[in-house]
Chain A
Amino acid sequence: MTEIANPESRELLTVNMGPQHPSTHGVLRLELVLDGEVVVRCRPVIGYLHTGIEKTFEAKTYVQGVVLTDRMDYLNPLGNNLAYSLSVEKLVGCEIPARATVLRVVLAELTRIASHLMFIGSIALDLGASSPFLYCWREREKILDFFEGMSGARMMTSFIRPGGLARDIPPDIVASISTFVDTMPGYIDSYEELLTGNPIFRERTEGVGILPADDALALGCTGPVLRGSGVALDIRKSNPYCGYEQYDFAVPTGTIGDCYDRYLVRVAEMRESVKICRQALDSLPDGPVQTSDRKVMPPPRAELAKSMEAVIHHFKLWTEGIRPPAGEAYVGLESPRGELGFYVVSDGSGRPIRVHERGPSFANLQALPKIVEGGAVADVVACIASMDPIMGEVDR
C-alpha cells in the first residue's frame, strides 16, 4: 500500500478508464480519483453491454431461451446452458439419463479449462507478457475444435438443453477429448514455468489487490475470488449436482487474497478439472442422452412414422414448447467465476414470466473498489484481470 505523498496539498485528479480500453476485460468503465499515483476512489460504471436478455427470455420458449444463455457469460457458454437447463428440469421434473449427466460434467469442465486458459492468457497480456496468451490459445483452440465437431459451433453451441443434450457426442470426439485430457497437465506445467515463478509477474501480483475473507463474503463474492481469500466454498463440493459427488477432486484456496493467490487458485483448478474429466470419461456409460419424457424432448424421427402419439408430442413441442407447471426454480452451480444460477419462474404457459441470472461477476465486481482503493493506479489492471469479470454476465 503506497502512502499519499503530500497530505497537505491534495490535488485530486479524476481519470476515466473508459469503456473502450484494452485492459478492462470488456466494456467496464472506472472513474478513478487519483492523488498522484494512488487511487483514492474507484467507482465502476457498468451497463455498457446491457442487452435486455432477461426481458428477451420472456418472449421466447424454454428451449429458445437456451440460445440466449450462451451469450451471457460468453467464456462459459456450456456452463450457462447447464445452469439454465438444470433450473428448467427442476420445474418440469424429468429424469436425465446417466450418459447425458456424465457428458454434461465433461463439457462443463472442458469449458472451465477453456475459460481459465483465457484468464491466464489475458492476465499475462495485461501485465505485458505476450507469449502465454499465444500458448494458452493453442490449447483453447483444441477445446473449441471439440465443440465444433460435436455441435457445429465453436463457442455458442447451445448443446446442453432441458432434457439432456442436443445430440450425442461422436465417439471419435470423445476419444480425442480423452487424449487431450491426458496431455493437458504437461501444458499447464509449461504455463506455470512462464508465469508462476516469474519475478516480474510476482512483483506485480503479490501483495496487490488484497481482499480479506470477511469483505469478500459480505460483498457476495464467490468462486476463485472468494477461494483466493481463503474460504473453501465450491458448489460442486458443498451442493453437488450432475453427479459431482462421485468424483474425487480438491478445492484449492489461497491465503491472503491477493492477485497472485487468485491466479494460483485458477491454475490449480485447471488441474482439478483435468482430473474430473479423466474420471468422468473413464466412467462414461452407454445409453441415450435425452430424457424419455416426451413433453420435454422430442421423439426420435423414426418413431414419427409409426406412432400417432409421437406425432402429437412432436407437434406440441414445436408449437407450444415445454410447458412446465407454475412454479419457480433456482439451481446454483459453480462456474469458472463463482456461483451461477438461473431463477426461472413459470406460470404454466410455454414462456417463462421471469428468468433472472445470478451472475457471479456482478457480485465479484462490487469488490473491485475495495481492492483497488489505496493502491497504485498501475495495479488497477492487475486487480481487474485477477477478478476475471465477464461484462456479458454483469450487464446481461
Chain B
Amino acid sequence: MSDATRTGAPGFLLSRLEDWARESSLWPVTFGLACCAIEMMATGASRFDMARFGSELFRASPRQADLMIVAGRVSQKMAPVLREIYDQMPEPKWVIAMGDCASCSGVFNNYALVQGVDKIVPVDVYVPGCPPTPDALLDSLIKLKERVAADSRNARHGAQTTAGVGIAHDGTTGPTTR
C-alpha cells in the first residue's frame, strides 16, 4: 500500500524503489548488552554473515542506523539510555527484541530488569531464545525485511497486526502482504 501522496505509475515505482532500498540495507546500531550480543556478533561473523542480508555494518552512532537490535537484558539503569538511543535514530526505524530478556525479561523476573523492552520502545520482531541461535536472528531479520519491503514508510512503530491486516499511518486498513 503506497503513501497517499504518491499517485500514479511514477509514484508507485518510486515508493517501490524506496521500499527496496530500505529493506536491502538495514544497518543496525551497536546495542549489544549481554549474552545475546555474543550471538549477534556470531551472526555478523563469517559463518552466518549478516552482511549478505544487507546489514553490512553496525553503526556506533544511532543517527546513522535504522535498526536497533536490543540484544540482551535491559536493567532499570539502562532503560533511559535505551530510550534515548532509540529517540536519536532517524525515521523510519525498526526494533528487533532479540532474546528472551528483551522480549519479556526471560529467566529474570525480578526487580532489576525491565520486563520486556516493549515497555519502553515499540518492537517489530521478537526473537525467542536464550540466546537465540544466529539462525533465529537471521530469520527475524528476514521477517523484518519482508515487512519493510511491503511498505517501508508505514510498516513501522511496531504497527499492531491482527490476522495479516495492518493499520496504516493514514488510518485506513488493508492487507500488509503483497
Contact = CB atoms under 8 A, between A and B. Distances in A.
A267 interface: no
Given A138-B46, A155-B35, 9 more contacts: A22-B58, A27-B33, A49-B72, A53-B108, A55-B110, A55-B111, A137-B47, A138-B47, A141-B47
Contact of B78 (A22, A48, A68): A48
Interface in B52-82: 58, 60, 72-73, 75-78, 81
Given A19-B81, A118-B38, A71 B75 contact: no
Closest 7 CB pairs of A and B: A52-B112, A74-B35, A137-B45, A52-B110, A22-B60, A48-B78, A22-B30
18 contacts: A19-B78, A20-B29, A26-B32, A27-B78, A47-B77, A49-B34, A51-B108, A51-B113, A52-B113, A74-B34, A75-B38, A133-B45, A141-B42, A154-B39, A155-B131, A156-B131, A391-B34, A395-B75
B37 interface: yes
A50 B34 contact: no
Contacts of A20: 29-31, 81, 85
A217 interface: no
B77 A137 contact: no
A47 B75 contact: yes
A122 to B, nearest CB: 9
A74 B108 contact: no
A134 interface: yes
B133 interface: yes
A365 B47 CA distance: 32
Interface of B, helix, strand, loop or mixed by DSSP = loop
B60 to A, nearest CB: 4
Nearest to B72: A49
Contacts of A56: 107-108, 110
Contacts of B76: 50
Contacts of B21: none
Interface in A131-182: 133-134, 137-138, 140-141, 144, 154-156
Contact of B75 (A21, A48, A134, A140): A48
Nearest to A145: B47
B51 to A, nearest CB: 11
A67 interface: yes
B130 interface: yes
A392 interface: yes
A138 B49 CA distance: 12
Nearest to B81: A19
A392 B35 contact: yes
B41 interface: yes
Interface of A: 18-22, 26-27, 47-53, 55-56, 67-68, 70-71, 74-75, 118, 133-134, 137-138, 140-141, 144, 154-156, 391-392, 395
A144 B29 CA distance: 26
A47 B79 CA distance: 12
Contacts of B33: 26-27, 49
Contacts of B46: 134, 137-138
A71 B129 CA distance: 13
A342 to B, nearest CB: 17
Interface string B6-48: 0000000000000000000000011111110111011001110
A49 B73 contact: yes
Interface in B102-133: 107-108, 110-113, 130-131, 133
B44 to A, nearest CB: 9
Contacts of B131: 154-156
A138 B41 CA distance: 12
B27 to A, nearest CB: 13
A59 to B, nearest CB: 8
Contacts of A47: 75, 77
B38 A155 contact: yes
With most chain A CB atoms within 10 A of its CB, the pick from B39, B60, B107, B113 is: B107
Nearest to B131: A155
A296 to B, nearest CB: 23
Given A55-B110, A71-B35, A74-B35, A49 B75 contact: yes
B75 A51 contact: yes
A18 B47 contact: no
B34 A26 contact: yes
Given A49-B33, A52-B108, A68-B107, A155 B39 contact: yes
A56 B42 CA distance: 29
Nearest to B76: A50
A323 B76 CA distance: 34
B129 to A, nearest CB: 9
A70 B35 CA distance: 9
B173 to A, nearest CB: 37
Contacts of A22: 30, 58, 60
